[in-house]
Structure 1
Amino acid sequence: MLLKSNFKSDLAKEKRLSALLDSYYQKHLRSCHFERVRSMKEQLMGIDLVLQHKTSLQTFYVDEKAQLDYVNETLPTFAFELCYLKNGIEKPGWLFDQAKNTHFYALITSIFSDEDEKYTSCNITFVNRKKLLSFLEKRGLTQSFLKDITSSNKGLHGKLVLDKINPKTEGYLFFSRKNKAENPVNLILKLAFLCKVGIAKRLV
């Protein structure tokens, strides 16, 4: 019953957030038509939003990722999922999932709710997925390298510093072994850093 309640609660939160996001898209993405995807099949393929440029007619698939666990907080980082547990079996996270058709991540951060049952403001940072994966590969942070790291640190909970990336200005690994049922391992990256190297761009 608790699971069902949480599921309904999460859906309600996503619906409220979508209304705010759509208002921002209408205001700041004037060069594009946008359509919100309702199909669960497409959403599982990493498509929450379809953008089509009004002039070139190029189409882009956007996967929205929101920090809904941190409402009324401002974090300088975002967690990119490497792996998680499902029914006791380790599954690959969304970052390196080849089944995803995502072109861009829309990272929703600094979500504020100044009114009851309503989100009133947030930040949106667009990340070019292809550029991000290329950058990680050049740094040696490949899927196989990170998989080896997670496999050799199965008992670890907390932050793990890597020599391939500056933990103060760029990012680090984080193992959530004790506080989350799915035991996710995330690559934590600084949003300002992603913007600085041209992988990301702040929309609002």
Structure 2
Amino acid sequence: MGVQSNFKKDLQKEKELAVYLDSLYKTHLKKYTTQRVLNYKKQLQGIDVLFTHNETQETYKIDEKAQLDYIGEDLPTFAFEINYIKNDSLKKGWLFDTSKTTQFYALITAIYKDEPNKFTSCKITLVNRKKLIALLKSKKITQDVLCNYLENEHKTYGKIIIKELHNYREGYLYFSSKNKAESPLNLILKLDYLIQKGVAKRLI
């Protein structure tokens, strides 16, 4: 039996998490007004929430990415999607997708449900997408470079060490061909590394 996509189940979890996140934004973002985006077209452009500064009225487009497969775990890394398979066709992942208008990723980690059907805590790390892409580019990490690693390794599953990153302190590639229906190729990056490099900061 092949791996079944958990898309519908994930969608329900995302809806439940969104309610919890909105309450956190209201509590912790005193200088901003937040608005959840319900327009499907805008969501496809990589916009889940808008943060508007109360004084300057400048608005930022936020794409929420949550580790919903790891509820109850506090991982030090996050998976940035490079590509995936849909309908037997290779698609570009969200990290290097130029059709996305995302300005910041809100990475939701350490998600806990200490009560039935209720999220009770999490961490939120904001990543400046433009700065992240620039950091990767400075290390000669591009979509093509990462895809070439997969081709050259002839790997069907698992971790791929790349010379551009220290695999313990910075990151590595991971090909999820067995446990994910979409068989994504992800760039796994250490959150502390991103914070240290000034492209990310802990919000909560």
TM normalised by structure 2 equals 0.94
Match for 2:143: what amino acid?
Answer: Q
Match of residue 116 from structure 2? 116
Distance 1:7 1:147 in 2: 25
Matches within 5 A, 1:66-85: 66-85=66-85
2:186 maps to 1:186: yes
Match of residue 51 from structure 1? 51
> Which sits farther off after the overlay, 53-62 or 142-151?
142-151
Report how far residue 148 of structure 1 moved.
2.0
2:103 maps to 1:89: no
Which runs of structure 1 show a deviation greater than 6 angstroms over 4 or more consecutive aligned residues? none
Report Cα offsets for 1:31-76 as digits up to 9, x if no partner.
Answer: 1111000111110000000111111111110000000011011110
Distance 1:144 1:12 in 2: 34
Unaligned runs of 5+ residues in structure 2 are none
Match of residue 30 from structure 2? 30
Distance 1:59 1:115 in 2: 34
Distance 1:147 1:10 in 2: 26
Distance 1:37 1:161 in 2: 37
1:152 match: secondary structure: helix
Report how far residue 170 of structure 1 moved.
0.5
Match for 1:195: what amino acid?
Answer: I
2:51 match: secondary structure: strand
Match of residue 60 from structure 1? 60
> How large is the Cα RMSD of the aligned pairs?
1.8
Report how far residue 7 of structure 1 moved.
4.8
Match of residue 136 from structure 2? 136
Distance 1:7 1:132 in 2: 27
Match of residue 159 from structure 2? 159
**8 Å CA contact 1:155, 1:177 repeated in 2:** no
Distance 1:133 1:102 in 2: 12
Report Cα offsets for 1:76-134 as digits up to 9, x if no partner.
Answer: 00000000001111110000000000000000000000000111000000000000000
Distance 2:151 2:52 in 1: 40
Report how far residue 146 of structure 1 moved.
1.6
Distance 2:7 2:150 in 1: 29
**8 Å CA contact 2:149, 2:162 repeated in 1:** no
Q: 1:115 to 1:196 in 2, by over 3 A?
A: same
Number of residues of Structure 1 aligned to a counterpart in Structure 2: 202
> Which sits farther off after the overlay, 19-28 or 59-68?
19-28
